[in-house]
Amino acid sequence: MAGLLSTIGKHTASEDSAFEYLVEQGLLAKERRCSKCYPAPNLSLIRRSDIADGWTWRCSLRGCRTKVSIRKDSFFSQSKLRLTTWIKLMYLWASDIPVTKVRCHLDDGECSTTTAVDAYYLIRDIYTGKLLASPVLLGGPGIVVQIDESLMRHNHKYNRGRGPLDHIWVFGMLDTSLSPGVGYMEVVDKRDAAMLLPIIQQHTRPGTIIHSDQWAAYRDPAARLPTVACHRTVNHSRHFVDPQTGAHTQAVESYWNSVKSKLKSMRGTTDGMLPGHLDEYMWRERWGSGANGWMNAQTAYNSLVRHICTMRMRRKIFYVAVYV
């Protein structure tokens, strides 16, 4: 089991090496100034044997001596988990290890499953935030984007005897110019034009060609959406591929299959978490895949570290804008 985490072993050897590494990666502050003194002197790092991090920032001015945690304003500020454990959890998440399995990769007593769930939630804030900050755009001039809706039945394993609430519609779009295809998915309350057309508009580049079945909501998006150049449909009651135009939705259908098999492997999933899982899937597609297009732990880890950095900075800028 140690094998998986050996890549980051150098950084998790001690709390000191974890601290040094996280500063180097920009996830913890390299220097700080005292917020109580003016002109604000730099704080100094002092050794603390009484706290797990081992270090704290302290103002060197006599009469002030304000202490500040090395985690202040960082991704880790709300957490009591050791920094070494955090690095491991980030790597396990990047390696697509389900939260219920992380304990198998950690030392005894290092982290409970409940605590790991909280940590994975914090990571979720990062990837959902990243997807909001960099919205998915598909298609472009002459590029076919296939669209389709899929009924997702969720939590079959733990949710015996539930009625139609088990069924959630997800709207999906797949860019067919890329291999493996890259998509966009969103949980929808309704499958009417008012719900679906704005999603198509928001996530396609101008000039996109749409292929779909003959579901009424899609009737003529080319006439209504500025980004859609052309819309072709296939009548599924008669053909898989339209004999005249060649239009089909087979790529988006096989995309649904991979998404669904991935969701099945995420045990303990509940309905409310489905949007988060779809975001995770989309994030891994974009930022967690190697050059060959397949998901790759090291790429996902590097992206996660980078996104934690930028998301934290974004938040800081936001605070400044609000309070100054």
Residues in the site for Zn ion, rule: CB under 5 A?
A: 34, 36-37, 59, 61, 64, 66
Residue 74 beta carbon to Zn ion: minimum distance, rounded to whole angstroms: 20
Distance CA 137, CA 135 (A): 6
- Would you state the structure tokens that stand for residue 126, as one six-digit string? 């990062």
Confirm if 145 and 211 have CB atoms less than 8 A apart. Answer: yes
Report the residue number, 37 or 309, with the smaller CB distance to Zn ion.
37
Residue 321 beta carbon to Zn ion: minimum distance, rounded to whole angstroms: 26
> Which parts of 194-304 are beta strand (E)?
208-212, 228-233
Residue 70 beta carbon to Zn ion: minimum distance, rounded to whole angstroms: 16
Report the residue number, 33 or 219, with the smaller CB distance to Zn ion.
33
- Of 274, 152, 281, 145, which is closest to residue 218 (Cα–Cα)? 145
Confirm if 83 and 13 have CB atoms less than 8 A apart. Answer: no
For residue 152, the cross-strand partners are 168
Report the residue number, 66 or 100, with the smaller CB distance to Zn ion.
66
Residue 42 beta carbon to Zn ion: minimum distance, rounded to whole angstroms: 10
Residue 66 beta carbon to Zn ion: minimum distance, rounded to whole angstroms: 5
Report the residue number, 5 or 37, with the smaller CB distance to Zn ion.
37
Report the residue number, 22 or 59, with the smaller CB distance to Zn ion.
59
Residue 63 beta carbon to Zn ion: minimum distance, rounded to whole angstroms: 8
Residue 62 beta carbon to Zn ion: minimum distance, rounded to whole angstroms: 10
- Supply φ then ψ for residue 45, to 5 degrees: -85, 130
Strands 228-233 and 208-212: parallel
DSSP 122-190: HHHHHHHHHHHHS---B--TT-EEEEEEEEEE--TTT-TT--GGGEEEEEEEEETTSSS-EEEEEEES-
Report the residue number, 36 or 157, with the smaller CB distance to Zn ion.
36
Report the residue number, 64 or 122, with the smaller CB distance to Zn ion.
64
Residue 55 beta carbon to Zn ion: minimum distance, rounded to whole angstroms: 17
- Whole-angstrom CA distances from 34 to 22, 30, 59, 65 are 21, 14, 6, 9
Report the residue number, 59 or 225, with the smaller CB distance to Zn ion.
59
- Of 213, 186, 203, which is closest to residue 143 (Cα–Cα)? 203
